[in-house]
Structure 1
Amino acid sequence: MKPVSKRVKDLRSSGIRKYFDLASMEEGIVSLGVGEPDFATPYRIRDMGLRAIELNYTHYTANSGLLELRESVSKKLEKENGIQAPPENILITSGSSEGLDLVMRALLDAGDEILVPEPCYVAYQPLASLAGGMPVMVPTYENDEFRISMDELEGKVTKKTKALIICSPNNPTGAVLPKKDLEGISDFAIKNDLFVISDEIYEKIIYGERHYSIASLPEMAERTITLNGFSKAYAATGWRVGYLTAPSGIIGGLHKIHQYNTLCAPAPSQYAMLRAFEEEESVSAMVKEYDRRRKLLVRGLDELPGISCPLPKGAFYAFPNITGTKMGSGEFAEFMIKNAKVALVPGHVFGESGEGHVRCSYSVSAEDISEALGRMKKVLR
């Protein structure tokens, strides 16, 4: 039998999967490794989804998504993000992950470089590679709050560089880019004629900070693709509805790939999300609870020997420094699975800058957080 493509053979499996597989072999695991909310999807969304099924809204929609949903997203982007995006410049996707894949394939030709600040979401690098691009990793550092350094960007950009991806709030670090940093990135992108892919899926899960969208800055709407969705803020990961907005010169290409790749996002889920923006009270309540868990987790991690943990400003992950334990991140994660029955994600899977850290999710109950901390304390004595 002939082999699969070289692209697939060269594609590495998710580094996270190894540790989830290890955890699945143990009994009584408490997991801080999950990357999704533990809350129920808010009532209005669930109710609308059920009604859509009962009314037989279970067939294809327009490739670009329901017009009513795109109009709703357009109003939200203008009101909350300062982005002027008419419905024709908005595409409803099967989660923001599909949007990310579409953008990589639409922008990158073979050999094109894309700057990827890391630690970063594990899909950025492989999806860029699958599209034929060359991901160029740009380190960020804990002592600078994992902000994106202009010096590091300047040192990595070349004539082959076509795009830069940013994520704020960040997975896995919880870092939030302030407006002045976005202005610096904007100047850099304009100077080097780069597209910017802005992953804003965690925008509503933020603590004491303000979220800014880079597409709202002068001259950036024409070169920015903004990725977002309903999964994280509305505890709707399984509904698989995301959205993106892109300039007129790009959106058509994204439509082309989307119509062959997915055709449309699930119809009942799209109808359900027509009610999402009515659930801001539910979102606020979830964020308030995340904040409580965040403080509980960080306080507990800081009390463990060999571990220090900055307070994350957004998303629902802590990214503690574990170098004081004298273990690498992979070794530490395996040690915790086998000895404490606690599942974590080692920082190295998010890029070289993540080594010396582990990702701990607080999108689990406060009881699970307390139990995990207690178990970790026992084995680190």
Structure 2
Amino acid sequence: MHTLKISQSVQDLRYSVIREMGGMAAHMDDVITLGIGEPDFDTPGTIIEKAFEDARNGHTHYTQSQGDPELLERLAQVATAGTGIRVTPSSVLVTHGGMGALTAALRTLLEQGDHVLLVEPHFPDYMAHIAFAGGIAVKVQSRFENGFIPLPEDLEKAITTKTRVLILNSPNNPTGAVIPGHILDAIADIAIRHNLFVISDEVYDTIVYDRPFESIYTRPEMADRTLVIKSFSKSHAMTGWRIGYCFGPQAMMDQMLKVVNYSTACASSIGQRAALAALDIDPSILEQMKNRFAARVDLVCARLNAMDNIQVTKPGGSFYVFADISRITRQSRQFAIQLLNSKRVVVVPGYAFGESGEGCIRIACTRNRHLLDTAMDRIQSFLDDFQKR
């Protein structure tokens, strides 16, 4: 009988806690899901209509592995306008979602055993992609009292002779923290002095509330050592189309293209045509989405701050609220499961985002205000019951 041997890197991974919470709720009635980061808005109709028209006109075949030439040209223009640095189509790569860019980048950059600095709390998928590329994640904690903004001195202390890459995620998932310019300046200085390559995950860059978004890519000397990852998923409510893209140093992109070529061949041709249509959408539609997210975040923060023993720092961006429940319990998994079972509300336990996320829960403000209000009522009722025990 054959003995099946599973890769240790896969065995060591746990299944996505975010997906697990959704699975628990799948067969329950009257559930309000505030778990997965899925905008409840449908893709704007003009994008769908144009993509379908292009599909009927024959855009249903493989594209070049790098991407549809017309889309690459437009994305280069967008990147140039957004950064003030000339980005050429040859230094842009269209990928199967933002995660396609991340995995291709890590496989391109890492040798077995290389260290990757990762600010915690962090998007859980980073751990898997680092492991698949043979790297080792070195976690650097950010703190509630600092608004979950990473401190440059903490990052520098974590650097070893094996450190090769730093992953920055701003606006951050799960905390919503947006790294301010002066911190980016300091981190850029560290990256240059220690010869680090930076992967800047900016998929929430259009959902920023209190200050203009800034990228480490624009800092002096950083364009040559930074890969910027963006996506249409959150900004244009296009999660199912699976289109992301990235841009960075030409030498890096030439090598990343090999990984994309052999792993996915190319991104969806129809999805790429949808992305092209998305670039022509009326900007006011995107602004309306952002404003609705902002109102939802304000509502949830106000409701949670009024609850005993819950602390919330208003996020600077994204549509997430990362609430500290440690005065009630540090067992975030137990808290989330009991909340689901008793009150039919899905949240994500903070431990899913790293050890420093324990004692917190992530709430995705991706439902309308009425449902969010109802969910907050249920959480308040749950807290009343929980704290009587």
Provide TM-score, normalisation by structure 2.
0.96
How far apart are 1:349 and its partner, in Å?
0.5
How far apart are 1:44 and its partner, in Å?
2.3
How far apart are 1:273 and its partner, in Å?
1.2
Q: Answer yes or no: is 1:291 the counterpart of 2:294.
A: yes
Equivalent of 1:63 in 58, 65, 70: 65
Partner of 1:341: 344
How far apart are 1:324 and its partner, in Å?
2.0
Instruction: Give 5+ residue unaligned stretches, structure 2.
Output: 385-389
Instruction: Give 5+ residue unaligned stretches, structure 1.
Output: none
**Which amino acid in 2 is paired with 1:123?**
D
Equivalent of 1:208 in 182, 207, 210: 210
Partner of 1:35: 37
Q: Answer yes or no: is 1:359 the counterpart of 2:375.
A: no
Q: Which structure 2 residues correspond to residues 158-197 of structure 1 after superposition, within 5 A?
A: 158-197=160-199
Equivalent of 2:93 in 75, 91, 94: 91
Q: Is the 8 A contact 1:305 1:324 kept in 2?
A: no
Alpha-carbon separation, structure 2, partners of 1:23 and 1:368? 16
Equivalent of 1:217 in 216, 219, 222: 219
Equivalent of 1:330 in 329, 333, 341: 333
Q: Answer yes or no: is 1:377 the counterpart of 2:380.
A: yes
Greater alpha carbon shift after TM alignment, 7-16 vs 248-257: 7-16
How far apart are 1:357 and its partner, in Å?
0.8
Partner of 2:19: 17
Equivalent of 1:321 in 320, 324, 330: 324
Alpha-carbon separation, structure 2, partners of 1:166 and 1:315? 15
Q: Deviations over 1:282-301 (max 9, x none)?
A: 11010011111111111111
Q: Which structure 2 residues correspond to residues 9-158 of structure 1 after superposition, within 5 A?
A: 9-158=11-160
SS in 2 for 1:18: helix
**Which amino acid in 1 is paired with 2:374?**
E
Q: Deviations over 1:253-295 (max 9, x none)?
A: 1100100111111111111211212222111010011111111
Greater alpha carbon shift after TM alignment, 79-88 vs 210-219: 79-88
SS in 2 for 1:116: strand
SS in 2 for 1:379: helix
How far apart are 1:19 and its partner, in Å?
2.1
How far apart are 1:327 and its partner, in Å?
4.6
**Which amino acid in 2 is paired with 1:308?**
Q
Aligned length: 381
Equivalent of 2:313 in 310, 315, 325: 310
Alpha-carbon separation, structure 2, partners of 1:181 and 1:53? 45
Q: Answer yes or no: is 1:259 the counterpart of 2:261.
A: yes
How far apart are 1:25 and its partner, in Å?
4.3
Greater alpha carbon shift after TM alignment, 191-200 vs 274-283: 274-283
**Which amino acid in 1 is paired with 2:265?**
L
Greater alpha carbon shift after TM alignment, 311-320 vs 268-277: 268-277
Alpha-carbon separation, structure 2, partners of 1:318 and 1:258? 34
How far apart are 1:240 and its partner, in Å?
0.8
Q: Is the 8 A contact 1:319 1:359 kept in 2?
A: yes
Q: Is the 8 A contact 1:83 1:215 kept in 2?
A: no
Q: Deviations over 1:229-252 (max 9, x none)?
A: 111000000011110012122111
Measured on the aligned residues, the alpha-carbon RMSD in Å equals: 1.2
Greater alpha carbon shift after TM alignment, 226-235 vs 36-45: 36-45
Alpha-carbon separation, structure 1, partners of 2:213 and 2:26? 36
How far apart are 1:224 and its partner, in Å?
0.4
How far apart are 1:326 and its partner, in Å?
2.8
**Which amino acid in 1 is paired with 2:9?**
R
SS in 1 for 2:149: coil
Q: Deviations over 1:106-132 (max 9, x none)?
A: 111101000000101111111101100
**Which amino acid in 1 is paired with 2:338?**
F
How far apart are 1:305 and its partner, in Å?
2.2
Q: Is the 8 A contact 2:92 2:247 kept in 1?
A: yes
Partner of 1:368: 371
SS in 2 for 1:93: strand
SS in 2 for 1:324: coil
Q: Deviations over 1:164-205 (max 9, x none)?
A: 000000100000001111111100000000000000000000
